[in-house]
């Protein structure tokens, strides 16, 4: 009797599973049909869309951003359409200013973007619009502008460089081995942002310890979330999410771990107390009690302060290894400004014009955030005459803009820090408006962490260049970027590190 009941239950379970699968398949087929009927671009046959869909661009370009840059350079308006993505992509500074400043309210992040990154970023500042964004923006602006927060950040970065980064590089030099610079800088920036933002130390730069579970899960979650944006229809990834299949299953598990560990960060911060702390999370917690909202703020801090800094430092040393003349000029300035062997102070860093020029030149060619998208609320016409229909994704492209001769001249492809210097004493000058050089965005959404990020990058650059020679392993070739929210070298960046004699 019990055996018969067991078999009956198995049959029922199988039939229920088949019914559920059939319903899901029918629903997805119906949804896909609706999408196709509603989209006039579903089968666009233009050469750009065909090249995107069949990936024929890979025959000539190492990265999608390089192909986009090529198309934008050859466009009379510096604007192109990727119809199958319902995406307008522009490198026209007038369009960028229009989106980020002049008609800012018509180009929010939008529900489509929020949907793509919502599972990971939630209502954090990078994924929010309206009142949620305004609240976080005002609070972040107040705290990041605080002299105590800036002083604390500078102390943390200097200490991390002195006690962890430089001893690690010294050890690698002594062993005459190689090191993955990208991995090292990601560990370094993860440590510093956790200390600055949460008052906690994950000790990722201690290579005797495994990489933080939080950091590893965060890496996977950002990569898989970014992959959603490359689908020709959101139905593709939404269907996979519904079926808990493939990359969406991986993403769900990674975000689950991120959620658990972010919650632990918040609990530890409460346990340690936060009323008089200098870290940013403590300051937010004085005004916010909702743990879900605090979780979204934690993730936003990590995205802002960890990946961008690591990306910038990685490509900076990649460029320096191919331009020894720039390294020599940096060392001349460093030796002139720094009279002691200690980590340079914030004031001394500010007086290094050539170091500034080299960093800005690096960010021009290889911005950590290569492109940024908004969604058009109402029908609009961009300054170059491009019509943007309601609901269209409009993307401005800092990576391509750094390669436009209309902005930077005929030598735009060259790494030449001198372009940022003026006068007989070589003073650093900000050459372009934030709409010609939108590496830190511009207008209402201009990056609040700009000064802190530059301070961190300069501290590392000056300290490492002063004491070590860094040389890439293998021939110098253009970076191959992996999918992600920030520019990441696929396969890392292997290098030799040698202490200077």
Taking the C-alpha atoms of residue 108 and residue 116, their distance in angstroms, rounded to an integer, is 14
Q: What are the CA-CA distances from residue 338 to residues 153, 208, 334, 434, 462 (Å)? A: 21, 33, 6, 31, 10
Residues 78 and 406 sit within 8 Å (Cβ to Cβ)? yes
101-439-117-303 Cα dihedral, nearest 10 degrees: -130
Taking the C-alpha atoms of residue 397 and residue 185, their distance in angstroms, rounded to an integer, is 25
Taking the C-alpha atoms of residue 152 and residue 374, their distance in angstroms, rounded to an integer, is 34
The answer to whether 362 is a known ligand-binding residue is no
- Nearest Cα neighbor of 149 from 273, 272, 269, 279 is 279
Helices (H), ranges, 273-397: 280-285, 291-302, 308-322, 324-337, 346-350, 353-365
Taking the C-alpha atoms of residue 318 and residue 472, their distance in angstroms, rounded to an integer, is 7
**393: β partners:** 87, 375
Residues 367 and 439 sit within 8 Å (Cβ to Cβ)? yes
Taking the C-alpha atoms of residue 259 and residue 124, their distance in angstroms, rounded to an integer, is 14
Taking the C-alpha atoms of residue 180 and residue 5, their distance in angstroms, rounded to an integer, is 59
Task: Show binding-site residues for heme.
Answer: 447
Task: Show binding-site residues.
Answer: 447
């Amino acid at each position: 009797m019990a055996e018969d009941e067991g078999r009956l239950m198995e049959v029922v379970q199988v039939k229920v599973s088949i019914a559920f699968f059939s319903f899901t398949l029918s629903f997805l087929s119906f949804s896909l049909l609706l999408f196709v009927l509603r989209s006039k671009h579903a089968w666009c046959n233009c050469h750009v869309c065909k090249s995107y869909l069949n990936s024929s661009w890979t025959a000539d370009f190492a990265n999608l951003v390089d192909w986009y840059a090529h198309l934008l350079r050859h466009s009379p308006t510096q604007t192109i359409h990727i119809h199958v993505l319902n995406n307008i992509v522009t490198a026209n500074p007038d369009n960028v200013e229009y989106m980020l400043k002049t008609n800012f309210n018509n180009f929010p992040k939008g529900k489509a973007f929020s949907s793509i990154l919502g599972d990971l970023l939630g209502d954090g500042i990078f994924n929010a619009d309206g009142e949620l964004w305004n609240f976080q923006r005002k609070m972040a602006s107040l705290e990041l502008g605080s002299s105590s927060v800036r002083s604390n950040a500078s102390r943390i970065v200097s200490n991390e460089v002195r006690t962890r980064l430089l001893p690690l590089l010294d050890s690698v030099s002594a062993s005459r081995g190689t090191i993955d610079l990208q991995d090292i800088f990601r560990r370094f920036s993860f440590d510093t942002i956790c200390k600055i933002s949460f008052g906690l130390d994950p000790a990722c730069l201690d290579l005797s310890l495994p990489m933080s579970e939080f950091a590893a899960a965060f890496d996977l979650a950002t990569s898989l979330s970014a992959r959603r944006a490359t689908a020709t229809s959101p139905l593709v990834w939404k269907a996979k999410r519904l079926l808990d299949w493939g990359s969406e299953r991986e993403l769900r598990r990674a975000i689950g771990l991120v959620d658990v560990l972010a919650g632990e960060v918040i609990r530890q911060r409460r346990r340690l107390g936060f009323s008089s702390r200098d870290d940013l999370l403590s300051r937010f917690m004085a005004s916010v009690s909702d743990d879900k909202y605090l979780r979204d703020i934690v993730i936003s801090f990590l995205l802002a302060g960890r990946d961008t800094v690591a990306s910038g430092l990685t490509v900076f040393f990649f460029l320096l290894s191919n331009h020894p003349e720039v390294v020599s000029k940096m060392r001349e300035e460093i030796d002139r400004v720094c009279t002691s062997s200690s980590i340079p102070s914030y004031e001394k860093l500010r007086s290094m014009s050539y170091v500034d020029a080299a960093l800005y030149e690096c960010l021009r060619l290889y911005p950590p955030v290569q492109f940024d998208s908004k969604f058009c609320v109402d029908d609009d016409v961009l300054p170059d005459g491009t019509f943007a229909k309601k609901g269209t994704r409009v993307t401005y492209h800092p990576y391509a803009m750094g390669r436009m001769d209309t902005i930077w001249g005929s030598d735009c492809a060259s790494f030449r820090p001198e372009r940022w210097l003026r006068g007989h004493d070589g003073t650093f000058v900000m050459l372009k408006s934030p709409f010609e050089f939108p590496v830190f965005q511009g207008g209402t959404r201009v990056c609040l962490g700009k000064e802190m990020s530059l301070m961190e990058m300069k501290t590392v650059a000056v300290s490492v260049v002063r004491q070590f020679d860094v040389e890439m392993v293998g021939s110098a070739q253009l970076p191959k970027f992996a999918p992600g929210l920030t520019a990441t070298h696929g396969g890392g960046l292997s290098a030799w590190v040698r202490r200077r004699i």
